[in-house]
Amino acid sequence: MAEFLDQEIKFLPGVGPKKAELLDKELKIKTFRDLIYYFPFKYIDRTKFYRIAEIHSQMPYIQIKGKIRSLETAGEGNKQRLTARFSDDTGSIELVWFSAIKWQKEHLKINTEYIVFGKPSEFGGRISVVHPDMETEEEKQIKPSGLFQGYYITSEKLKKTFINSKTINKLQLTLGSLVKGKIPETLPKYLTGRLKLIPLEEALVTIHKPGNSRELKNATFRLKFEELFFIQLKILALKHHRENKNKGFRFPNVGYNFNTFYSRFLPFELTNAQKKVIREIRRDVNRNIQMNRLLQGDVGSGKTLVALMIMLIAIDNEFQCALMAPTEILAQQHFQTISRFLNGMKVEIALLTGSTKKSERKILHEALENNRIQILIGTHALIEDTVVFKNLGLVVIDEQHRFGVAQRAKLWQKSDIVPPHILVMTATPIPRTLAMTVYGDLDVSVIDELPPGRKPIQTMHFFENRRQQVNNFLWQQMEKGTQVYVVYPLISESEKMDLKNLEEGYRHITEAFPSVKVSMVHGKMKPAIKESTMQAFKNGETKILVATTVIEVGVDVPNASAMVIESAERFGLSQLHQLRGRVGRGAEQSYCILMSSYKIGPESRKRLETMVRTNDGFEIAEVDMKLRGPGDIEGTQQSGIGFDLKIANLGKDGEILQLARNVATEVLEKDPSLQTNENRIMLKTLKSEKQTEFDWSLIS
């Protein structure tokens, strides 16, 4: 029975090979299944009719009945247009077409009653509807489109070939009339009954032509729950499988290195949040099960210190550790920070990046194999085949969304028999709903407080006319002895215009602050020049660093207390938050100034208002997801879980997601392998899904 939905779309009446090719290319609709799961993005209530006298241009859409009184063609070639005067007993309105004019003239009939649907607009004091939907009363009776008409996203290419939302709606109705008894249930009766879910077949037919709001609500809930439930079932089954199959090294000893560091070298008192996270990780590494834990914490919350203390426990148990960072700057930052923390202790640390010389590599590789190096810090150079550990027990991955799944896998496999414990760190706050999906098979720890003495960064938004006031403020900051970042957008290193803006910005800054030493850094510089420029700023030799987002991650200059972000409206919320985290790392009060043009859209305004209002990374992440949707949030494409949401929205459906996770947990606790007669229906669904390659998901 399931084979019915797997038929190629060209076999659906009204499609054929040519349309099928376009639907596949433009919308990835290849089969009946792809079509029925291609859901409307909105619905219009087609029960309401307006009189022409009631219409104004601010209405989102209108539906009217009347007759075409005249048809006129004007212009030539591409500029040709067809105008119809359409009237009812209260007045008249213009209907306008700019394409398919010949077809319209052949099919439109004067003095025949039509139902017209479309968006009204005003031009030259007259109301018109451009490219309206037109149907006669007879056509409307033949086509039972439901009271709520679904609207579907299409492409310009499809519209040019007359495959618009209306066409897809007709195809959905055709398919809906053929599926009766041919869509098998995917959930057991004990779940559909308990959760009051309508049958899957009914939900899939109704979602495309709901008769009323209650029907639409029931169909939507069933399909959203189903989508999120099977994601959670897959993720939690993976986690259960990993915990039962993958034995882990035990770190039972908290010995000399940990205790010496804690009592003599700890630079400041741990926060309660750090202590809680260390306890959670200690429990993990003492259980004989491979740890897979995500450590979230805002910039400056002390994640690196927590990771180091866990590394010291691994070393106390005679294991080696690896810390992988996405850039050389960040790897060097970690190396310097950890070396500073451990200065005076007998722990061997090494750094391996793309810049490490061949002669140095040879010595390093040998020391690593002989267990003389206890902590190896590096970039993706760590995953090279020539890098061999004697006894790798713990892998820390920083800003993991910047690594591909395959890259993480290679590092994970560097321990032959028992996989190392994995600690994934991120300063990019992940919304709760996203963490439950993208990172749903990981245990999550959160450091949600800053170290004592850190003051919240004050953020302000100014337009260009306040430039002099901003410059005066920067003078005041530098007179106190602190330093300043000025950040320009460089969305792509190939964008010459952005690079030009950066260079012009550098010139303006040097003119505005003639007595101050200013430096500039961007991604097109040679690594050695970039590094020396950064180092000069870090050492206090330059007072202002004009930069692109290369400073987003890994630059730690406690003396920098002010940041100006130019054209802040061009940055995403996550990036703005990351950039702001470069200041506020010392004891001084720090400031972030967002500069923007006057002309900013509502979304940009919301982003800037959010940055001014809060320093809470998790609140910012939630707003970001609501504005952009989960598909654009960093990390979702490389998660390895392999999900493609068709109807659920992680920004809005948190409650349904939590319910789905709770139900999936309950199911797996009673039947981990889904082997009971009633649960096999779910196992069959999981196995039939595309993207069922589970292996990658076992790796963070």
Give the model's pLDDT for residue 449. 80
Concatenated DSSP letters of 43-92: EEETT----GGG--TT-S-EEEEEEEEEEEEES-GGG-EEEEEEEETTEE
Residues 6+ apart with CB under 8 A from 198: 206, 218, 219, 222
Three-class secondary structure of residue 677 per DSSP: coil
Which of helix, strand or coil describes residue 127? strand
Q: How many CB atoms lie within 10 A of CB 105?
A: 13
Contacts of 103 (CB under 8 A, 6+ apart): none
Confidence of residue 30 (pLDDT cuts 50, 70, 90): very high
Q: Hey, where are the domains in the chain? A: 47-144, 256-284+302-426, 458-614
Q: At 129, which amino acid appears?
A: V
Identify residue 91 by its one-letter amino acid code. Answer: G
Rg (CA), the chain: 31
Q: Which of 109-118, 139-148, 198-207, 260-269 has the highest mean pLDDT?
A: 198-207
Between CA 387 and CA 406 the distance in angstroms is: 16
Q: What average pLDDT does the segment 563-572 reach?
A: 91
Tokens (6 digits) for 264: 């003599």
Task: Check residue 144 and give its pLDDT.
Answer: 46
Buried b (16+ CB within 10 A) or exposed e, 676-692: eeebebbbebeeeeeee
Q: CA 529, 530, 535 angle in degrees (round to 5)?
A: 95
The answer to whether 46 and 148 have CB atoms below 8 angstroms apart is: yes
Per the CB < 8 A criterion, the answer to whether 642 and 437 are in contact is: no
Tell me which CATH code domain 256-284+302-426 carries: 3.40.50.300
Fold agreement between 256-284+302-426 and 458-614: yes
Strand partners, 423: 293, 396
Of residues 151, 148, 145, 155, the one with CA closest to residue 168: 151
Tell me how far apart the terminal alpha carbons of the chain are, to the nearest angstrom. 37
CATH class of 458-614: alpha beta
Residues in the chain: 700
pLDDT in tens, 609-653: 999 999 888 788 888 877 776 654 444 433 334 457 889 887 778
The DSSP output letter for 450 is: P
Higher pLDDT, 509 or 248: 509
Q: What is the pLDDT of residues 127-156, one digit of tens each?
A: 899 888 888 876 665 454 456 788 898 888
Which amino acid would we find at residue 77? G
For the chain, counts of helices (H) and of strands (E): 24, 22
- For the 47-144 domain, the top CATH level (class) is mainly beta
Tell me if the pTM is above 0.75.
no
Residue 497 has pLDDT above 60, yes or no: no
What is the tens place of the pLDDT at every residue in 45-92? Answer: 777 889 998 888 888 888 899 999 999 898 887 788 899 999 999 989
Average pLDDT, the chain: 84
Residues 434 and 416: beta-carbon distance below 8 Å: no
